[in-house]
Amino acid sequence: MVLDFFKRGRGSALDDVERTLVQMLRDGRAVYDAATAAVFGGGPSKDTKRTVKGTDREINEAQRQVRRALIVHASVTGSPDLALAMAYMSVVKDVERVGDYAKSLYDIARYGADFSQAEDREELEHYCVAVGNLLDEAAMVFEERDTERAKELVTKADGFIDEYDDHIKAEAHAEGPAPAAVTRALYYFYLQRITAHVMNLMTSLVLPLDQLDYYDEAKDDRRELET
């Protein structure tokens, strides 16, 4: 698989890239925590905005640093590290998108969403916790290069994708107030997107290079790509 290269020696440049990817994912978790706290009653505030926007900017800068480092490294080392550099170039986009969609969760709080007194709060919080745990597990799995746990995490996350789809469809046909349906549909959509991009990162541990970067596609589209 792509990151089997880890089992052999690596240069310090690729070690640095790996550490940066893990830190980006953890920073994405920080954005996610701040955003979801706002959605579940904390509301928008200057401090939360500073955390969300500032950390997201740090993630974006880290993405640029990773890309620059990979270009330089591939230019210097040539073909031996090319596959790994290409894999990192692919997944760094997914890690960056985690921060973007977490930031979008804060936007629905800015637009007035407040789930603190919602009748379905328990279910909403269940998925909030699930995605937070997914981010933590993914950072640990990637850092430890644990291919078996990566496979398990992809399977578990794929199940959540189906559940988020079901919720989005249900909200599209909800008979209650339109604002409530819209905010929930967006909430589940952003959770779905975060989950899909984490799955893309995990596939870099278990799939060949040519099969990376499509777990953020619909399942039917993924099946077409797999055949």
Contact call for residues 144 and 202 (beta carbons, < 8 A): no
CA neighbor of 153 nearest in space, from 127, 135, 126: 135
Q: Is residue 145 part of a domain?
A: yes
Whether pLDDT at 218 is above 60: no
Residue 133 pLDDT > 60: yes
Tell me if 5 is assigned to some domain. Answer: no
Rounded Cα distance, 132 and 24, in Å: 14
Task: Give the predicted TM-score (pTM) of the model.
Answer: 0.87
pLDDT at residue 70 in the model: 87
pLDDT more than 70, % of the chain: 83
Within-domain flag for 176? yes
For 213, phi and psi rounded to 5 degrees?
75, 35
Task: State the chain's mean pLDDT as an integer.
Answer: 86
Domain of residue 170, residue span: 10-222
Q: What is the CATH number of the domain that holds 84?
A: 1.20.58.220
Q: Which of 16-20, 44-48, 73-77, 172-176 has the highest mean pLDDT?
A: 44-48
Tell me whether residue 28 is in a domain: yes
Whether the Cβ atoms of residue 127 and residue 188 lie closer than 8 Å to each other: yes
Statement: residue 139 has pLDDT above 50: yes
Q: Do the domain assignments include residue 2?
A: no
Is residue 3 assigned to a domain?
no
Which pLDDT belongs to residue 220?
Answer: 57
Question: Does any domain span residue 1?
Answer: no
Question: Is there a domain that residue 146 lies in?
Answer: yes
Q: Domain total for the chain?
A: 1
